[in-house]
Every structure is written in structure tokens, then in C-alpha cells.
């Protein structure tokens, strides 16, 4: 998402840096890149293909469909089967692949029966155009309903230190061995510069506040796969260094209590 223009609309201000971010990520061992056809729209997928195709064998590119774009910061869900099929076909073309490893329904369209939406993705899966199916921005009841209609392997919800309201979804995913992919893991960067207690804790670990926020997510469950977005290689390298930060159980529990937004 961060490799696009303002409002997730149009090309990035520094195209060469965007390409460097993608290439550097793979150099540093990243093997999951999450994107969507609506980022740009289309810009992010096209940059990924330009920077990385032909792809390393172990690289998983996850993309999403089910949104239309009307301008900067404007999004509208559309889950009609024929549109979802078009989304998949166009993502295959832009990413230059014959099969998408993980295809996620970006939003459930409340105007279209879920059986029609998941049924079309399941049909594309049978045709060999999708390997795995995932969901985004869902509640536990919706996941359970979807799993009756198709095999679901992942859930992508907003989740970070200051937004923990989907803890029941995380716990469900851990219990059911589904990947949980928290987006906005740094709350669009606001956690990176947080002062006070988080900054003090970070000093004790020789880390930055953003690294502590990511380390906290990684410590919650083995199924958690944070996807911090960035448009700069320096931020990328800082984010990836969070994998080397091992928080104590006491600090994980304290952060969870201290920052929780749950009622």
C-alpha cells in the first residue's frame, strides 16, 4: 500500500526507491509480500512484477480483490462473482504468474451473498488460478460462515498495540491454525515515534519503538504475520530488525494491558 501515491492513488513519488524497497526486502529474506489490486489501483502489483519477476521459488505474493476505487482514499466493496473473476484474471496478468499463492477477499460485500463471493473464488481455485483463499477485515462469525463455503487459510485484520479489538479473531486463528496477518501493525507509522513508556522500554532492548511494536505482535502467536508497509529502504531494514527483538513474557503482557483499546 505504501508503494503508491497519496491516498493510495497513483504512482509513488519516488519510483526507483519503491523498486529498491521490493528488491531489498527479498535480499533480506522476506518471503511474503502482501498487496492488492486496489493499491494505486494496480500500481503496487505492477511494481512488484517489475522489481522481482521472475520470482524466487520461495516467495509468496498475496494479493486481494473486491474493492473499486473512485479516487484518493475512496474505496467501495464489490463482490459480484464476475467482478471477482475479473480481479483475479487481471492480477494474474499484472503479477505475471499463472497462479496466485494467496488470494484474499479484500472485503465481504454486504450486497452480495457470501456464497456467491466465496463460491467464485473456490471455482477459480479449482481452475488452478488461486492456490489458497484468505479473508480480510472479518469477525469470527464471518470466518466460520466462510469456512463452510471454502477452505480459508488466512485472515487479515487491523491489529496493533493501540487497536486490539480483534483479539478474539487472533485467538480463533491460533486455535484453528489459520495465518493471522495484522495490517497497520504500526498504526500507519504513529507507533514508530511514540514517546513515553514505549520509548523507555525500547531503550532497554536497544531497539526503536516501532521494533518493540512489531516484536510484540510476533510474540502473540506463531500464526501472526505482521505486514509493515513502507516506501523507504531504511524503514524496511529497521522493521525487519524487529525479528531479532525477543520480549519477555512479562513485557508482552504489560504492553497488552497498557495499550489495549478493548472496553
CA–CA distance, 181 with 134 (Å, rounded to integer): 10
Q: Is the pLDDT of residue 249 over 90?
A: yes
Find out whether 129 and 99 touch, Cβ atoms under 8 Å: yes
Residue 187 pLDDT: 85
What's the whole-number mean pLDDT along residues 195-221? 93
pLDDT digits (tens, 9 = 90+) for 137-177: 999 999 999 999 999 999 999 999 999 999 999 999 999 99
Band of residue 197 on the pLDDT scale cut at 50, 70, 90: confident
> Which residue has better confidence, 42 or 193?
42
Task: Enter the CATH code of domain 1-158.
Answer: 3.20.20.100
Q: Quick one: which of 55, 54, 9, 3 has its CA closest to 32? A: 55
Mean pLDDT of the chain: 96
pLDDT digits (tens, 9 = 90+) for 61-120: 999 999 999 999 999 999 999 999 999 999 999 999 999 999 999 999 999 999 999 999
What's the whole-number mean pLDDT along residues 18-43? 98
Above pLDDT 70, what percent of the chain? 97
Q: Is 67 helix (H, G, I), strand (E, B) or coil?
A: strand
Structure-block grid coordinates of residue 129: 488460478
Q: Report, as residue numbers or ranges, the catalytic residues.
A: 39
Structure-block grid coordinates of residue 255: 504492553
Q: Quick one: which of 144, 77, 156, 155 has its CA closest to 117? A: 77
Beta strand segments in the chain, E: 32-34, 60-65, 67-71, 74-77, 100-105, 130-136, 152-158, 179-183
Residue 46 pLDDT: 98
Q: Is the pLDDT of residue 190 over 80?
A: no
Q: Is the pLDDT of residue 5 over 80?
A: yes
Q: Is the pLDDT of residue 188 over 80?
A: no
Q: Is the pLDDT of residue 49 over 80?
A: yes
CA–CA distance, 211 with 240 (Å, rounded to integer): 8
CA–CA distance, 239 with 244 (Å, rounded to integer): 10
Q: Quick one: which of 122, 131, 134 has its CA closest to 99? A: 131
Which residue ranges make up each domain of the chain?
1-158, 188-263
pTM of the complete model: 0.95
Q: Is the pLDDT of residue 189 over 70?
A: no
Vertex 222, ends 33 and 155: CA angle to 5°?
55
Q: Is the pLDDT of residue 263 over 60?
A: no
Q: Is the pLDDT of residue 56 over 60?
A: yes
Amino acid at each position: 500500500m505504501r508503494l503508491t501515491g497519496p491516498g493510495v492513488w497513483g504512482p509513488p513519488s519516488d519510483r526507483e526507491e519503491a523498486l529498491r524497497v521490493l528488491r531489498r526486502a527479498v535480499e533480506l529474506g522476506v518471503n511474503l509480500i502482501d498487496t492488492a489490486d486496489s493499491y494505486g489501483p494496480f500500481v503496487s502489483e505492477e511494481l512488484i512484477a517489475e522489481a522481482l519477476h521472475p520470482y524466487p521459488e520461495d516467495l509468496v505474493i498475496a494479493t486481494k480483490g473486491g474493492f473499486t476505487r473512485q479516487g484518493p482514499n475512496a474505496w467501495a466493496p464489490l463482490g459480484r462473482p464476475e467482478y471477482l473473476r475479473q480481479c483475479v484474471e487481471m492480477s494474474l496478468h499484472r503479477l505475471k504468474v499463472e497462479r496466485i499463492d494467496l488470494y484474499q477477499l479484500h472485503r465481504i460485500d454486504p450486497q452480495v451473498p457470501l456464497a456467491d463471493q466465496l463460491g467464485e473464488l473456490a471455482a477459480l481455485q479449482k481452475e488452478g488460478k488461486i492456490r489458497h483463499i484468505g479473508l480480510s477485515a472479518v469477525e469470527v462469525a464471518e470466518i466460520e460462515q466462510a469456512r463452510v463455503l471454502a477452505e480459508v487459510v488466512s485472515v487479515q485484520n487491523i491489529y496493533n498495540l493501540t487497536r486490539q479489538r480483534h483479539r478474539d479473531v487472533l485467538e480463533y486463528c491460533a486455535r484453528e491454525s489459520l495465518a493471522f496477518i495484522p495490517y497497520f501493525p504500526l498504526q500507519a507509522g504513529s507507533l514508530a515515534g511514540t514517546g513515553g513508556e514505549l520509548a523507555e522500554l525500547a531503550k532497554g532492548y536497544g531497539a526503536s519503538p516501532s521494533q518493540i511494536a512489531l516484536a510484540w505482535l510476533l510474540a502473540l502467536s506463531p500464526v501472526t504475520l505482521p505486514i509493515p508497509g513502507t516506501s523507504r529502504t531504511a524503514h524496511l531494514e529497521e522493521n525487519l530488525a524487529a525479528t531479532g527483538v525477543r520480549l519477555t513474557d512479562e513485557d508482552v503482557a504489560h504492553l497488552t494491558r497498557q495499550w489495549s483499546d478493548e472496553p
